[in-house]
Amino acid sequence: MILACHGINKAFGENVIVTEGSFHIEDHEKAALVGPNGAGKTTLFKIIIGELPADGGDVILTKGKTLGYLAQHQDMVSGSTIYEEVKLAKADIIAMEQQLRTIEQELKHLKGEALTARLETYNRLTAAFERENGYAYASEITGVLKGLGFDESDFSKPVATLSGGQKTRVSLGKLLLTRPDILLLDEPTNHLDLNSIAWLETYLLNYPGAVLIVSHDRYFLDRVVTKVLEIEAGKLMTYTGNYTAYAEKKRRLRDARLKEYLNQQQEIKHHEAVIEKLRSFNREKSIKRAESREKMLEKIKPVEKPLEMNTEIHLNLTPSKISGNDVLTVESLGKSFPNQVLFTDVSFEIKRGEHVAVIGDNGTGKTTLLKILNQVLPADTGTFTLGTNVEIGYYDQEHHVLHMDKTIFDEISDDYPDLTNTRIRNMLAAFLFTGDDVFKRIGDLSGGERGRVSLAKLMLSQANFLILDEPTNHLDISSKEILEKALNDYTGTLLYVSHDRYFINQTATRILDLVNHTFVNYIGNYDYYLEKRAELTAAYAGGEEEVSAPAGTVSEAKLSWQEQKEAQARERRRQNELKKTEERITSLEERDAGIDRLMTQEEVFTNSVRCQELANEKAAIAAELEELYERWEELGT
């Protein structure tokens, strides 16, 4: 065990964060801390690192162990460059290296005992330097920075000029390189693109120390953690397994508790009805029996009603009209900024009912594409056309159309006067605004809160083509699940940018990957994209290098969307037939071996009729296998 919390209590006035919360983290363990927004995850982290005092209980870090903490937001004040700042994590090793170089110079001028003593020091330092992997520290720094999405051209940028998200990435890189015995990471995947998140997953899976993560990224948690700590309504619960296992166990546990609660309520109502009936008789014996039952009722220990789940709130997205089958046609679209080409000669189509996710590295132009389609920015080249009866609903994190002087409730009710108060409150609750929160002024909200209000308004619109830029940012997991269900039930067309792989897996029927200034099309969800990414990127977005096309694909680098779709369909058919052929070959080979075993049994080889039947079957198998082997070779080339 490396970290333990025993009986932790914390409250801010009447707001109880945790009561008698206890858990432990083992050496090398990877665990997650989850819960709704505002449940107290960050507060618990601050108690563990000693930034906030607990009202009661103990935090125990094993003696001699080190702890590293990454906060969500960084106020990094530094006059260094990115590389210089991250290099500080290796200050001890660098000092050791400088000491070794100094001793090397001294050795040239020493003799006798002085030389022997200095050599002993040199050998001891050299051994320590090697143990700390000192010879590789420069490449380790470069690897971490590149893994977190920085190019070598970024290394010399001053930290003072970076955005908040970039500073968080620098802090994360610096923390990883210090290699503490336990890492506490608060939303580490914020500000990372998909490739950087995948890199961080691999890094943490191989990290020799323990890790405790706060994150709303369910795909990330499924890949990394083996234990989930849940904080909700002041209680801390521990579940073994990854996020999916936790969600299933929690659902089963809640269902069992709800059943127990409902059964007890039924029992209590039965007792109360009997007591009322006995008292109505107004006889001495019946009153005594009623009093006896009342005492029994008082002894019943109430089962606490499980918390209402946000997923019981249903969002219905209903387009006001049906669009034509051709919703969007993009032809030869291009966009560049000074010293930066985003995309060139991009063409694709979106049909009615499709759910299309746009993915790609940070800075490749995903958000710019959405702005062009909504006429916020002009394209440099090319055109796009909207189909018949298409009505766009646009969610842009940078251009929220909100009234700063209105309350959240009025913002919704003024735009949708026909909605009941209950409907408005349910919608706002789905986006984390409950109780008196709905009467906050828009102008007093954070950027993330304003984004959630804008998303709530959009969900109430009757548009038949939703265009969303990072819709799950600032949502907790329950709210993401509500949004996923609403979008999956949506009969209109959907185009969105997202880094949330779990969300993409749940809602996308097609993916456009922006890579090497063009789009590669995938007819499927995120798992399908992962399976086909290497071969399709090589085929359709190989860049300047010559890349040989994989089997079953077309080698031209700039195919139209329709050609890409047809090529992928042919490849899927080939793979399916190949799989079926392999399964049939395996089945026949197993049967052939089974016949050989049967022929060794006395009751079979002494039965001439049975032997002839088996010989005929074996010959038929051999003939069919010959055909299957030929077909397998054709499909595999």
- What pLDDT is attached to residue 549? 36
For residues 228-250, give the mean pLDDT: 93
> Which class would CATH give 1-76+164-241?
alpha beta
Tens-place pLDDT, residues 360-378: 988 889 999 999 999 989 9
Query: In this model, does residue 34 exceed pLDDT 60?
Result: yes
- What pLDDT is attached to residue 538? 79
Tens-place pLDDT, residues 606-627: 888 888 888 889 889 888 887 8
Query: In this model, does residue 435 exceed pLDDT 60?
Result: yes
- For residues 342 and 626, the model is more confident at 342
Query: In this model, does residue 119 exceed pLDDT 70?
Result: yes
Grade residue 562 by pLDDT with cuts at 50, 70 and 90.
low
User: What is the C-alpha separation between 561 and 557, in angstroms, rounded?
Assistant: 12
Grade residue 311 by pLDDT with cuts at 50, 70 and 90.
very low
Domain boundaries defined on the chain: 1-76+164-241, 82-161, 248-307, 326-564, 568-635
Q: Are residues 48 and 59 in contact, defined by beta-carbon separation less than 8 angstroms?
A: yes
- What pLDDT is attached to residue 86? 94
Query: In this model, does residue 16 exceed pLDDT 70?
Result: yes
The pTM of the full predicted model, rounded to 2 decimals, is 0.72
Distance of CA 124 to the CA centre of its chain: 45
Nearest to 467 by CA among 564, 416, 397, 514: 397
Name the pairing type of β-strands 355-360 and 510-515. parallel
What is the CATH number that goes with domain 326-564?
3.40.50.300
Query: In this model, does residue 559 exceed pLDDT 70?
Result: no
- For residues 270 and 334, the model is more confident at 334
- What pLDDT is attached to residue 79? 84
- For residues 526 and 539, the model is more confident at 526
**Angle, nearest 10°, between helix axes 421-430 and 447-460?**
130
Query: In this model, does residue 63 exceed pLDDT 70?
Result: yes
Share of the chain above pLDDT 70, in %: 92
Among 168-172, 358-362, 535-539, the range scoring the smallest mean pLDDT is: 535-539
For residues 125-141, give the mean pLDDT: 90
Query: In this model, does residue 555 exceed pLDDT 60?
Result: no
> Which class would CATH give 568-635?
mainly alpha
Nearest to 526 by CA among 191, 198, 189, 34: 198
Angstrom CA distances, 439 to 404, 405, 443, stand at 13, 11, 12
Q: What is the DSSP letter of 79?
A: S
On the question of a common fold for 1-76+164-241 and 326-564, the answer reads yes
Tens-place pLDDT, residues 283-309: 777 788 888 888 888 888 888 887 665
Among 272-286, 438-452, 469-483, the range scoring the smallest mean pLDDT is: 272-286
Q: In what order do the strands lie in the sheet with 493-497?
A: 392-395, 465-469, 493-497, 355-360, 510-515, 518-522
For residues 61-68, give the mean pLDDT: 94
Q: Are residues 296 and 268 in contact, defined by beta-carbon separation less than 8 angstroms?
A: no
- What pLDDT is attached to residue 419? 87
Tens-place pLDDT, residues 498-531: 999 999 999 999 999 998 888 999 999 999 998 8
Nearest to 367 by CA among 321, 389, 332, 399: 399
Match 């001793």 to its residue by tokens. Answer: 103
Query: In this model, does residue 556 exceed pLDDT 50?
Result: no
- What pLDDT is attached to residue 158? 92
Q: Are residues 540 and 347 in contact, defined by beta-carbon separation less than 8 angstroms?
A: no
